[in-house]
């Protein structure tokens, strides 16, 4: 039987063709000197050197980090081969991550390292993206968990109080108490019910406003909105003896009065809550086609790192142990202000108080009257 053999030169040619077909980089390295003695086409494409240029280099010229020396690698690779990740450098100085799979071979008393090198830029990017997503998801879950805890706590407190008051009311009725007492207990229960429904409203708002609030726009006067908002928190400011000053000129603009009042009430409630019972001021000034409205307190203030975050959903910069709250007031306010094509920001420093500034376009260039109210 005749066996068909391929001449050795042709074999070499075929192997070279094969190497040039492979997408991974193939380098044959002299284990004693580290010099590159063979490189395929993928190597030329990856390192941006011609084959001749590569053959004039040592593997150390392509590496960025101090890697295991070729001799060490040779030793560990001799038997089972080695697999590691490192960084390689292209001719233009740019760097890319690679996975190197090496084996040592001895041929005619010379030792070689056969390396198959894979560009893992895409894999690394996908890993980083997965990692980033995981962290974001974990953070979102932690925020949500804390939110649920705070929300149930916030809702439970007025519920418990209302329930206690209703029990008391029933006892008062059984005892035949005076109408005055019955009225007082009923009023107290009603005020807690109001608080409860405000909380529920806030939760609803947060989910409804996510798609962008629908505005009911009409030409309105900012001074009136500001005075109405201040009236809404009047009971609180009086109960705690907190001074509140309002300097808002008559400014007409195309806005949603109810929503704008909601923004101001949110900012005022925060100024009361975080304002250490110090005076609060509300002011506004017109600048060309914009109006800047400021709510200023002299309370606990905020660290610079918090000033953007607090406008996010459920975001808070205080511990639940010290201050209750859902972390939704500023989020809702931002949605409303942005729906008016405006913006909201805060200037603050810890212990120095905070100034929340809402900037709104007037919407109607002619509709402006700046006489002070």
Q: Give the binding site for ligand ADP (CB under 6 A).
A: 266, 270-271, 274, 297, 299-302, 310, 315-318, 325-331, 354
Tokens standing for residue 22? 């492979």
By beta-carbon proximity to ligand ADP, the closer residue of 62 and 326 is 326
CB of 350 to ligand ADP, least distance (A): 9
- Residue reference for tokens 């120095």: 352
CB of 233 to ligand ADP, least distance (A): 13
By beta-carbon proximity to ligand ADP, the closer residue of 252 and 316 is 316
CB of 300 to ligand ADP, least distance (A): 5
CA dihedral of residues 173, 175, 180, 181 (deg, nearest 10): -90
Tokens standing for residue 45? 């494409």
By beta-carbon proximity to ligand ADP, the closer residue of 324 and 365 is 324
CB of 305 to ligand ADP, least distance (A): 12
CB of 328 to ligand ADP, least distance (A): 5
CB of 271 to ligand ADP, least distance (A): 5
Q: How far is CA 359 from CA 213, 214, 258, 289, 336, in A?
A: 17, 19, 17, 10, 12
By beta-carbon proximity to ligand ADP, the closer residue of 253 and 301 is 301
Cα three-residue angle 118-123-127, rounded to 5 degrees: 145
CB of 273 to ligand ADP, least distance (A): 6
CA–CA distance, 295 with 346 (Å, rounded to integer): 10
Please provide the DSSP assignment of 218-248 as one string: EEEEHHHHHHHHHHHTHHHHHHTT--EEEE-
By beta-carbon proximity to ligand ADP, the closer residue of 155 and 217 is 155
CA–CA distance, 51 with 45 (Å, rounded to integer): 10
By beta-carbon proximity to ligand ADP, the closer residue of 88 and 316 is 316
By beta-carbon proximity to ligand ADP, the closer residue of 230 and 310 is 310
Tokens standing for residue 248? 């808002």
* φ and ψ at residue 58, rounded to 5 degrees: -110, 160
Which residue lies nearest ligand ADP, judged by its C-beta?
325
Please provide the DSSP assignment of 308-361 as one string: TGGGSTT--SS-TTT----S-HHHHHHHHHHHTT-EEEEEE-TTS-EEEEEEEE
Tokens standing for residue 169? 């009311």
CB of 150 to ligand ADP, least distance (A): 8
By beta-carbon proximity to ligand ADP, the closer residue of 42 and 260 is 260
| Of 17, 268, 318, residue with least CA distance to 146 | 318
């Amino acid at each position: 039987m005749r066996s068909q053999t391929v001449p050795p030169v042709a074999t070499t040619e075929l192997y070279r063709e094969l190497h040039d077909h492979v997408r991974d980089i193939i380098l044959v390295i002299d284990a004693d000197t580290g010099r590159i003695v063979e490189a395929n086409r993928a190597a030329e494409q990856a390192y941006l050197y011609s084959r001749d240029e590569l053959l004039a280099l040592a593997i150390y010229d392509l590496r960025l980090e101090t890697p295991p020396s070729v001799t060490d690698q040779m030793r560990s690779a001799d038997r089972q081969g080695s697999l590691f990740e490192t960084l390689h450098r292209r001719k233009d100085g740019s760097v890319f991550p690679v996975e190197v799979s090496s084996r040592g071979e001895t041929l005619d008393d010379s030792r070689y390292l056969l390396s198959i090198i894979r560009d893992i830029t895409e894999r690394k990017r996908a890993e980083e993206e997965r990692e980033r997503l995981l962290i974001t998801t974990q953070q979102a879950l932690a925020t949500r968990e804390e939110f649920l805890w705070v929300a149930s706590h916030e809702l439970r407190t007025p519920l418990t109080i209302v329930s206690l008051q209703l029990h008391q009311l029933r006892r008062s009725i059984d005892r035949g108490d005076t109408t005055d007492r019955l009225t007082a207990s009923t009023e107290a229960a009603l005020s807690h019910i109001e608080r409860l429904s405000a909380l529920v409203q806030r939760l609803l708002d947060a989910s409804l406003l996510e798609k962008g609030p629908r505005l009911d726009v009409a030409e309105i006067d900012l001074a009136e909105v500001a005075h109405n908002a201040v009236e809404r928190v009047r009971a609180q400011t009086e109960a705690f003896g907190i001074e509140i000053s309002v300097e808002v000129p008559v400014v007409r603009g195309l806005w949603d009065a109810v929503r704008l009042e909601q923004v101001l009430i949110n900012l005022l409630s925060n100024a009361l809550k975080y304002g250490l019972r110090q005076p609060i001021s509300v002011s506004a000034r017109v600048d060309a086609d914009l109006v800047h409205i400021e709510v200023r307190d002299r309370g606990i203030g905020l660290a610079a790192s918090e000033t953007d975050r607090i406008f996010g959903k459920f975001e808070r910069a205080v511990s639940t142990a010290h201050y209750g709250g859902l972390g939704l007031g500023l989020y809702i306010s931002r949605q409303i202000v942005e729906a008016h094509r405006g913006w909201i920001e805060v200037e603050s420093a810890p212990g120095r108080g905070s100034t929340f500034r809402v900037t709104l376009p007037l919407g109607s260039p002619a509709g402006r009257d700046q006489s002070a109210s």
